[in-house]
Amino acid sequence: MTPGGGYLSGANIFRDALVEVVRPLPFGGDVLVREGQVVDPDTVVAHLNPSGYLHFVNVARELDVPFHMAAGCVVKAEGEAVRRGEVLACRPAALGLVLAECRSPADGIVERIYPSGLVTVRAYPIPVTAWVGGRVLEAGTSGRVVILTKGTLIQGVFGLGGERHGRLFVLPNNRPPPGGLPAGGVVVSPGPAGRDLLDACLAGRAAALVAPTCHLRDLEALGWDPGRPDSEASKRNLSLVLVLTEGFGEQEMSTPLYEALAEREGLVASVSGHTQLRAGVLRPEVIVPSGGPPASRPVGPAPLRVGRRTAVYLDRNCGPPRLRVGSAVRVIRGAHEGSRAVVVELPPHPRQVASGAVLPVVVVRLEDGRIVTVARANVAATEGTAAGETAGHGGEDR
């Protein structure tokens, strides 16, 4: 429970907040920025593995040719740049066999071609970008770069894709406009994302789509595999970063969330579709910086950690939705996912739920009148408070 007397809800909206964004460097690396430096989303703050990974390609085996002939099949020279998937060597048809090709496993430089047919490709260092505009607070301390920005932070329920950024383009409805969508933009839809809107975003090369809900069948039709969301096929077929603020189905975006995005239309938004639903929960996020980078880290209480890589400094001008008795909520996970309800009790101590875990919970009254107990992380505050609601007693655990 927070000092203000309420619980933080499952879906957070922070307006005009100071937000700390951590860019982890899990294996160390070469930090390229300094403390106090102002960065934009495209600024490379560090290089992972500065010397580059060394890839070994056995051309003789890949082309099925004698080893003494393999070096002659290489079409690149030592020191030449090569792109991932680019032809590195090929077997000439003059050998009387079917033409075969050997492709580069990474972007990099052809470092050495051995007489035995072995080729080494030195991959370029892996760049780590700032992803969000702001001021660098920590540069390489404890294996991370920390960036402080001022703006609006929104956490979704489910997301797909990696990290992108672009200018906000807010739609009045969930249909694509006649003139098409801006390339590289972050599209915001107030209604469910249908197949036509998804197709329009992909055709227009939009960077991201922020919508309340969509149907799983539409994502599967586009080639996304729910069983292997991080596979190369899924990433290639669904190149769009997708953030769902309510989940799956036909729900509309909450009014406060839509207004927060619409007020900032035209500003650059940083969007992350990274989602992890179990241990070490990671939620998709949208950050819209505004007002220029902050001068320094605020003096006072430590920031509230709202994500694995995101923290917010709370003050009287901003703060997350809080759950109180009478708060209107939506169940975003579990057996009652999608249901609207009203909080009737906030137990001060964790309780055991149906899965056997002991978690902080809330007791809510569903629209059909049933009173159930759900994990606090499985509800999200919506606008308004139901009048006449008073504290009730715990019902069945779900």
Q: What is the pLDDT of residue 2?
A: 41
Domain end position, chosen among 123, 142, 170: 123
Strand pairing class (186-188; 208-214)? parallel
Residues 41-95: pLDDT tens digits? 999 999 988 788 899 999 989 888 888 888 888 999 999 999 999 999 988 765 5
Q: Supply the pLDDT for residue 339.
A: 82
Could you tell me if 131 and 145 are in contact, meaning their C-beta atoms sit under 8 angstroms apart? Answer: no
Q: Is the residue at 190 inside a domain? A: yes
Segments forming the whole domain that contains residue 365? 324-397
Q: Are residues 169 and 306 in the same domain?
A: yes
Please check whether residues 278 and 169 belong to one and the same domain: yes
CATH number of domain containing 153: 3.50.30.10
Full-model pTM: 0.74
Within this chain, do residues 155 and 187 fall inside the same structural domain, yes or no?
Answer: yes
3-state secondary structure of 350: coil
Token pair in block for residue 255: 């009014």
Question: In 113-130, which positions are buried (b, 16+ CB within 10 angstroms) versus exposed (e)?
Answer: beeebbbbbbbebeebbb
The answer to whether residues 240 and 376 belong to one domain is no
pLDDT of residue 297: 85
Task: Verify that 119 and 263 share a domain, yes or no.
Answer: no
Q: Which of 123, 154, 176 is the last residue of a domain?
A: 123
Q: What pLDDT score does 396 carry?
A: 39
Assess whether 113 and 137 both reside in one domain.
Answer: no
Structural domain includes residue 161? yes
Task: Report if residue 244 sits inside a domain.
Answer: yes
Show which of 66, 94, 123 is a domain's final residue: 123
Would residue 207 count as lying in a domain? yes
Quote the number of domains for the chain.
3
The answer to whether 152 and 16 are in contact (CB under 8 A) is yes
30 CB-near residues (< 8 Å, 6+ apart): 46, 47, 50, 125
Evaluate whether residue 334 is within a structural domain: yes
Low-confidence ranges of the chain (pLDDT < 70): 1-11, 93-98, 225-238, 277-280, 315-322, 382-398
Q: Which residue has the tokens 């002939």?
A: 69
End-to-end CA distance of the chain: 21
Give the bridge partners for 146, in sequence order. 22, 138
CB contact at 8 A, 363 and 394: yes
